[in-house]
Structure 1
Amino acid sequence: METLDEIWAAAEAVLGALPRVAVLGTVGDGPEMRVVMLREARGEARGAWQPPEPPAPGGRLPPGSPRGFFGSKDGGALEAVVHTDAATAKVAELKADPRAALLIWDEAAALQLRLTGRARVETGASAADWAAARQENYGKQPAPGMVIAEGGAWELRPAPEAFATVTLDVAALEVLHLGAAHRRARFEAPGWGGAWLVP
């Protein structure tokens, strides 16, 4: 991958092949991470893009020309969506501090994506979402992460109100390609201008 367009297109292909396993990072008493299923990357199709002027070495990213990527063609928003039990610690952590990151590894493409931004949490499921959900993932009693006397000392009480949607408003997308020649680039909203980084 020798151009920003090429590495961008590779990231677009990974985010277009959902659902897929990802790691969600939040801030609790310290950094917290857990495996989640990335369900959706929302926005419009990518539009035409003109490379921005490259930043000075060691400098910050320039605003650049607009880049569309599951966002509007004028450099709009990118959202990444995961579902979780509303009683989990990550929901409380995100409500207290919405900073979050999603990490994705695609073995076939030798590509790592890191999406960072701020998360919004909505609790409760619509009838359609609840019908499509794996309901055994929502409504555990006591709440997930609580200490119990033995491994089976919990029960499942599935309910739509136990369902939560976490939407990450992506502020930056960092892409690392670990092919024969390592390449790393970072793209920032709102214009999604890109710059090469040392891998």
Structure 2
Amino acid sequence: MFMLATADHLKVIEQVVEQTDIPIRQFYPTHMNRNLHLFEAGIEYAKKGGWIDFTTSSIPKFLEEGEVKCSVALKRMLEAGVDIGQITFTSDGQASLPDFDKNGELIGLQIGQVSSLYEAVKEAVLSEGVPLEVAIRVITSNPAAVLKLKQKGRIEAGCDADLVLLDDSLEIDTVIAMGKVMVENKLPIVKGTFE
């Protein structure tokens, strides 16, 4: 296994960009909020034109160990002058969320939650004062642009009709996926894995 020294962070990617014709946007570093040093390196990386991603699924232990909460990370990035178009949130939804002891031994496994995306954006708006129209981009148009999903991430003719309607308190009221109502008046209309 290849490990970078703690202070190196994104150095390998930056060296590739500097020494080759590979553009910085060919890379998409994630989990950039897992500790303060990596987060701060992410600020500089994004200012050079790179995308950075914050992972919204977490456990209290990660936050205690220095993980930067996504809502706080978003606000701090914007205050540092990072363009909102450089920032995304992902959830690791339904993927493993390992927990290790101080010796690096696995002691438990949790599951990343897709709902953490919504919660992190809501918290950025309500607790950190990030405008909704700015915060929402990190889970809509920005990841669609990074992943080149041309029909996702925005409301426009020819795009998929994926919409989430919120009430005044930013609670989810209605969900429409590919033009089909899935949740209405906060009640699921479509249920089951493959419905």
Give TM-score scaled by structure 2 length. Answer: 0.24
**Structure with the larger strand share:** 1
**Structure with the larger helix share:** 2
Q: Which has the higher contact order (CA 8 A, sep 6+)?
A: 1
